[in-house]
Structure 1
Amino acid sequence: MTVQFYWYPKCGTCQKAKKWLDEHQVDYEAVHIVDNPPSKTELKKMIDKSSLPYKKFFNTSGKKYRELGLKDKLKDATEEEMLDYLASDGMLLKRPLTVGKDQVTVGFKEETFEQTWN
């Protein structure tokens, strides 16, 4: 099974995750998260599949997140509003975003990848 691997090539964490996938021979399709961000519909499916709260999908350390003042805006935002923000700019998404048939991982932690993608 091929997983979707949404990444930003200049991101160090994404490079580590890609290296892990390569070393463990995980079949993946690399998707540039800024050039081809997931649509609102795709994001909703990913979030539902992951069982994680919407806020976990935000790149909270990103420049764009700070510029938009999302830390304060998200406190009262609806799920629909959060989806709108996430779908509006690939740089707002925490990366890498790895999506399989039944599972989704956000970011890269080796032990999480071991449990999910091995």
Structure 2
Amino acid sequence: MSLTFYWYPKCGTCRKAKKWLDDHQLSYKEIHIAETPPSRSELKDFHQKSGLELKKFFNTSGQKYRELGMKDKMKSASVDELLEILASDGMLIKRPILTDGDKITVGFKEEEYEKMWL
């Protein structure tokens, strides 16, 4: 199983997830989400495969989310518009994202990681 780990090194939650992966000796390719964010098509694929609502992919506590007034835009924007906004800035994306190409987790919950990745 080849894992890809999108993370932001200054994010405490991302560091916890990375430690969990290392502690469980899972190998992964790490990608700095702000420097190399997933493309619009990758985000669309993640969204479809995850079964999560698109809102779950937004870093709702981030400064950029507030600056762009995303709370209001979420109500009226189409999925395509939201994907375009998400792909425009890695800091808008909730992190970490862990995927093997088929399964995806967004954020870090130890129980969820154990269920999905062990």
Q: Would you call these one fold, judging by a TM-score over 0.5?
A: yes
1:96 corresponds to = 96
Shift of 1:101: 2.8
Deviations 1:86-113 (A, max 9, x none): 1000000000011113200000000000
* C-alpha distance in structure 1 between counterparts of 2:33 and 2:100, whole Å: 16
The percent identity for this pair of structures is 62
Q: 2:31 aligns to what SS in structure 1?
A: strand
Give 1:26 deviation, angstroms.
1.2
Please give the per-residue CA displacement for 1:40-60, whole angstroms capped at 9, x wherever unaligned: 011111111101011100000
Trace 1:3-14 onto structure 2 (pairs within 5 A).
Answer: 3-14=3-14
1 CA distance for matches of 2:5 and 2:58?
16
* Separation (CA, whole Å) in 1 of partners of 2:87 and 2:117: 25
The one-character-per-residue Cα deviations of 1:48-75 (angstroms, maximum 9, x if unpaired) are 1101011100000000000000000111
**Gaps (5+ residues) in structure 1?**
none
Any unmatched runs of 5+ in structure 2? Answer: none
Q: RMSD between aligned alpha carbons?
A: 0.6
Query: What's the counterpart of residue 17 of structure 2?
Result: 17
Q: Deviations over 1:12-44 (max 9, x none)?
A: 000000000001111110000000000001111
Q: Give 2:19's aligned amino acid.
A: K
